[in-house]
Amino acid sequence: MIAIVESPLQFLAALETHKASTLFCYDSATMRDFVEKLPLSFLADITVKWGLPPTRTFTAAQNVIVGDLNSGSFQLLLVRARGKLPALTVVDDGRATITAFENVVSKAPLVRSRVSNSVVRTGLGHVASRILYAHAQRGHITWFTALTLNDSLRTRVENAGVRIESHSFSTIRSFPWDDLPTSGPFVIGSAMVADGVIDEDSYFCWLENLGLDQFAYIAHRRESSAFLNRVGSIPGATVYAAGLPVEIRLSHAQAGSEVYSLPTTATETLPLTMDAPKIKTTFVPDDWWKPNVTMKTKMELNTAVNRATTKPILVSISDSESYLKWSASLLDQLREDFDVHVWLVDNPILPTGEQIANALAGSDFSSAHVPVVKNSELKVALEDLRPDVILAAATGPIVQVIYSTAAFLSHRPGLVSGLPGVGLPATSKGQRYRRLGDMFITHSAFEKERYEQVLTDCRFPVEVVVARLPMLKSKKPPRARFTPGDIPTRLVFAPQAKVPVEKDEREQILLSLNRFARNFPKSSVIVKVRSRPGEQETHHEEHSYTALLEDLEREGKVIPGRLSVEVGPMSDFLEPGTALATVSSTAALESLDRGLATLIIADFGVNEDMLNEAFADSGIAQPLSDLERSDFRFPSEAWLTANYFQPFTDELPHALQLLAKRARAQQLPDIRTGALQQNYRGLRATVRSRTPKPVVQAYRLVRREMPQRVRDGLSKL
């Protein structure tokens, strides 16, 4: 049996199989140095040759061990073999091996994702992928791996005919290696700078900011001498040159050693060879990437960590700060059952960095990097992550784009959406954008009833579930933490972009806030806005309160400084002693959750148009005159229980787990035709809105002359 290997890790994995008698090694200075340092006893009965085996030697072997399926040289051997392929045993080469098998089972080209591939090279990768898939179908491929594979990948690979054998480098670890570092902490080197995907200075800032008095730096084989000299100049750093794979290098380290790393599959295999390591992985931030790096590569590298999870994968995709806040808080509650990811999709209302920080404040994602995925790269990013469930936490048009993209993925995930706050009124327009989904999340039994009626009327087969708004933390219906007649130390007004619509109504609110400030000068009054001037929100605001307040101050109707406009997480403003007023903001529920004085402004109506019908019987829908004299009330326990403060249940996590299982078992309905039809309708509406009236009239005239069966066919599109 022969082996074709290109790296030290592949070399040792080939030896671990106990099958290879001749190893053909990629001829490089790194590999020669590695082999020369190996103890002679390690290579007993092993012949090492440099370069690729001749085609004749390759086809004559009964079994060939190979470490790099993406190698163009190896793929040429496959093509030249002309059907006389030996059985293949594939050994690990980190993340690249996982990607290679994902491409084989998907019949995608076997090429390196981090380089620009020519048409010829991509064509060779296509041919090689098809050859290997057919070979696997005949039962002639084994994957010899130390990685812990997630259930989804293992199932797909085994269904393609690949036999999987697991190992833990037991033979290699048992050998008495010399000169292995034992004292940490350790920092694992990375090829990302050498490969030109991240900025070198950013990498060194990370190293220096780890705050380690001393550390052992385990070099990567592609890091240059100049680069390693720079690492060595950091106070406290000791550089260990490239050679043995890091799994062997650290096999004799002290128990509980700290290991720092950028994303790498070594973080999965190190626990096999180390004694209870404390591995701390840093995801690559957006500003580290070089401009030419694709989203696919970013996602691939940043998801190389924790790929071994057996939990179903759930990714939320948001377009604005309000949806991002909701999804991050919701996913916090699902972490025990799901491997969760939070993304943003690039769009005109994309939040700024400050808005993102405010939206994530208080969640487990507050310090996490949230990738921004371009529309054009969404399909590629999803194919790489292979989620079992997508939470489309976005406005209707963006949900439609997400669902249409997901419809054509090789692994169709469950599709879920919802609204980031009070979800009434339930409208058919909103559900038409979401018609391809499997599930819709509501936040009360009353909301569920309304949405089920709309979906029934529209004949959309979408499951409706109830889950408490994740920002509501009280375990029981909250109680008032103020006494009627108390003067709040601070009054916060939470505006809505959509209501009220009229300028004079908005000015009326500001003037009432001004009267409150005049009546109670010891209380501060804050207009808590979601964005600064020039920033975008979920919904467009025709008359901003910031601009209106400036106008009223200029006109002398409001004393400058009496009302302040502030930005930040709502949770920062809802402190004890605060009162909150709003027309319909979900902030009212957050305020009630804390037992604070809360008032729904009723002067302009309490109905669907004002988006506040849910508060009709709450007892806190009051006129502005009550606000001006600090007359605040609190809902009854019965109303709270019936509206948004129902007991916590497992309905949503159980429903999502079932949906994920159906996705993994490929039991979800095929929605590709529906996606094409919906995309066509959207395109037709856009064309119609931009087409001159005479052209539209001529089209309608021609259409009336068509046979009925033709018109019927067009109407179905």
How much is the average pLDDT of 526-553? 81
> Residue 160's closest CA among 184, 143, 179, 177?
143
**Segment 361-381, tens digit of pLDDT:** 999 998 888 999 999 889 988
Q: Is 204 buried (19+), middle (13-18) or exposed (0-12) by CB count in 10 A?
A: middle
Q: Return the pLDDT at 169.
A: 79
Give the pairing type, strands 439-442 and 414-418: parallel
**Segment 221-265, tens digit of pLDDT:** 889 999 999 999 999 999 998 877 888 889 889 999 999 999 887
What mean pLDDT is reported for the chain?
89
Q: Does domain 312-466 have CATH number 1.10.287.110?
A: no
Residue 13 has pLDDT above 50, yes or no: yes
Distance of CA 505 to the CA centre of its chain: 40
Residue 562 has pLDDT above 60, yes or no: yes
Using DSSP's 3-state secondary structure scheme, residue 85 falls into coil
Of the chain, the percentage scoring pLDDT greater than 90 comes to 66
Buried b (16+ CB within 10 A) or exposed e, 540-557: ebebbbeebbeebbeeee
Structure-model confidence comparison of residues 523 and 146, the more confident one: 523
Q: How confident is the model at residue 306 (pLDDT cuts 50, 70, 90)?
A: very low
Q: Return the pLDDT at 310.
A: 58
Residue 539 has pLDDT above 60, yes or no: no
Q: Which own/partner pairs from 194-197 qualify as long-range (CB within 8 Å, at least 24 positions apart)? A: 194/220, 194/222, 194/223, 194/224, 194/227, 195/114, 195/222, 196/290, 196/292, 197/114, 197/289, 197/290, 197/293, 197/297, 197/301
> Residue 454's closest CA among 475, 434, 479?
434
How much is the average pLDDT of 341-347? 94
Q: How confident is the model at residue 630 (pLDDT cuts 50, 70, 90)?
A: very high
Q: Return the pLDDT at 308.
A: 43
Structure-model confidence comparison of residues 511 and 31, the more confident one: 511
Tokens matching residue 151: 């259930």
**Segment 482-508, tens digit of pLDDT:** 999 899 999 999 999 889 999 999 999
Q: Return the pLDDT at 709.
A: 54
* Cα 607 from Cα 627, distance rounded (Å): 20
Q: Return the pLDDT at 700.
A: 58
Q: Return the pLDDT at 538.
A: 55
Residue 586 carries which DSSP code?
A: T
- Alpha-helical (H) ranges within 233-371 are 246-249, 266-273, 295-302, 321-332, 353-360
- What is the CATH T-level fold of the domain 490-642, as seen in this structure? Rossmann fold (3.40.50)
Structure-model confidence comparison of residues 536 and 694, the more confident one: 694
Q: Give the pTM.
A: 0.66
Beta carbons of 456 and 426 less than 8 angstroms apart: no
The angle subtended at Cα 119 by Cα 115 and Cα 122, nearest 5°, is 60
Residue 686 has pLDDT above 60, yes or no: no
**Segment 419-444, tens digit of pLDDT:** 999 999 999 999 999 999 999 999 99
Tokens matching residue 68: 């790099």
Q: Return the pLDDT at 699.
A: 58
Return left, alpha or beta for 199; rule: phi > 0 is left, psi -120 to 50 is alpha, else beta. Answer: beta
Residue 615 has pLDDT above 80, yes or no: yes
- What is the CATH T-level fold of the domain 2-173, as seen in this structure? Rossmann fold (3.40.50)
Q: Return the pLDDT at 491.
A: 98
Q: How confident is the model at residue 341 (pLDDT cuts 50, 70, 90)?
A: very high
Residue 83 has pLDDT above 90, yes or no: no
**Segment 92-104, tens digit of pLDDT:** 877 788 889 989 9
Beta carbons of 74 and 66 less than 8 angstroms apart: yes
Q: Return the pLDDT at 334.
A: 96
Q: Count H helices, E strands: the chain?
A: 28, 25
Residue 583 has pLDDT above 80, yes or no: yes
Tokens matching residue 617: 């019987």
Structure-model confidence comparison of residues 706 and 194, the more confident one: 194
The angle subtended at Cα 247 by Cα 241 and Cα 253, nearest 5°, is 85
Q: Return the pLDDT at 309.
A: 44
Of the chain, the percentage scoring pLDDT greater than 70 comes to 92
Q: Return the pLDDT at 691.
A: 56
The angle subtended at Cα 578 by Cα 576 and Cα 579, nearest 5°, is 135
Residue 300 has pLDDT above 90, yes or no: no
Q: Return the pLDDT at 697.
A: 63
Q: How confident is the model at residue 655 (pLDDT cuts 50, 70, 90)?
A: very high
**Segment 157-213, tens digit of pLDDT:** 999 999 999 988 787 777 767 778 888 899 999 999 999 999 999 999 999 999 999
Residue 534 has pLDDT above 70, yes or no: no
Residue 42 has pLDDT above 90, yes or no: no
Q: Return the pLDDT at 701.
A: 66
